[in-house]
């Protein structure tokens, strides 16, 4: 659990936390696998969410004993179809939360299995000025569930991992953040509690995340005042 009074950074997963995009991703994955005669369920995809497209293709193709020649086709089909239907939509309460964190001088980052181009487009567009940095699947050798993305994110923010809160929605991302030594708030945007139980907190939506963080920020201020009083 995070040390009271030491909250320095909040790290956000992208899809399913910042972007309301999981339905679009699922639609694209199901379309791609339909092209090779397979149907995949929402559950199958959501449990793998958090890693790059090629890794998800590899995992599902292995599960269904698909010929290796089909993997590249599935990956390309998924990406092409997703790009056709993609329309950025953000979860209610997100921008209010980001504004609050900026006002309180708490650093923020996006940590995602998405590629660098896609993240940079968002940071130069609707998310411009809201995040201090980002880590994409192109920036690390080992993506989620390895801790590397979150460790790199904390390093880029110049904060200690133990002083970071992570907001996630999927088990691979939760494991990544916990193994990096961070406190995790899981949001029920795609999966039930049984898949999120490694998190320190589980909430319904971003406004609930905000309530938790406001309480932590309040404790942070109280502890800072107490330390100043002790020094005097």
Q: Locate the domains of the chain by residue range.
A: 9-20+89-231, 22-85
Q: What pTM did the predictor assign?
A: 0.87
Q: Rounded to an integer, what distance in angstroms lies between the CA atom of residue 153 and that of residue 55?
A: 21
Residue with tokens 């949001």: 187
Q: State the pLDDT at residue 221.
A: 53
**Sequence-ordered alpha helix ranges (H) in the chain:** 22-34, 42-48, 53-63, 68-85, 94-103, 116-124, 148-157, 171-179, 206-231
Sheet with 183-187: strands ordered across: 133-135, 107-111, 9-12, 164-168, 183-187, 201-203
Q: State the pLDDT at residue 220.
A: 66
φ, ψ (nearest 5 deg) of residue 164 = -115, 145
Q: Rounded to an integer, what distance in angstroms lies between the CA atom of residue 147 and that of residue 152?
A: 9
Tell me the pLDDT of the chain (232 aa) as tens digits.
555 458 999 999 999 999 999 999 999 999 999 999 999 999 899 888 877 788 889 889 889 998 888 999 999 999 999 999 999 999 999 999 999 999 999 999 999 999 999 999 999 999 999 999 999 999 999 999 999 999 999 999 999 999 999 999 999 999 999 999 999 999 999 999 999 999 999 999 999 999 999 998 887 654 544 444 444 4
Q: State the pLDDT at residue 4.
A: 44
22-85, what's its fold?
DNA polymerase; domain 1 (1.10.150)
Q: State the pLDDT at residue 53.
A: 84
Residue with tokens 């650093």: 107
> Are the beta carbons of 206 and 18 closer than 8 angstroms?
no
9-20+89-231 and 22-85, same CATH topology: no
CATH class given for the domain over 9-20+89-231: alpha beta
């Amino acid at each position: 659990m995070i040390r009271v009074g030491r909250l320095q950074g909040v790290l956000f997963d992208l899809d399913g936390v910042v972007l309301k995009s999981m339905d679009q991703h699922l639609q694209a994955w199901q379309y791609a696998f339909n092209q090779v005669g397979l149907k995949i369920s929402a559950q199958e995809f959501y449990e793998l969410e958090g890693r790059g497209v090629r890794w998800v293709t590899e995992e599902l193709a292995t599960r269904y004993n698909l010929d290796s020649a089909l993997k590249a086709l599935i990956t390309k089909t998924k990406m092409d179809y997703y790009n056709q239907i993609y329309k950025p939509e953000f979860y209610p309460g997100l921008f209010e939360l980001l504004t609050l964190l900026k006002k309180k001088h708490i650093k923020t980052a996006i940590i995602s299995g998405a590629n660098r181009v896609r993240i940079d487009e968002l940071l130069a567009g609707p998310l411009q000025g809201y995040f201090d940095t980002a880590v994409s699947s192109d920036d690390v050798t080992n993506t989620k569930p390895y801790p590397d993305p979150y460790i790199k994110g904390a390093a880029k923010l110049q904060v200690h991992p133990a002083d970071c809160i992570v907001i996630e929605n999927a088990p691979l991302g939760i494991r990544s953040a916990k193994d990096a030594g961070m406190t995790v708030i899981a949001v029920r945007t795609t999966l039930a509690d049984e898949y999120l139980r490694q998190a320190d907190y589980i909430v319904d939506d971003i406004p609930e995340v905000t309530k938790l963080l406001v309480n932590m920020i309040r404790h942070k201020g109280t502890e800072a005042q107490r330390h100043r009083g002790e020094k005097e």
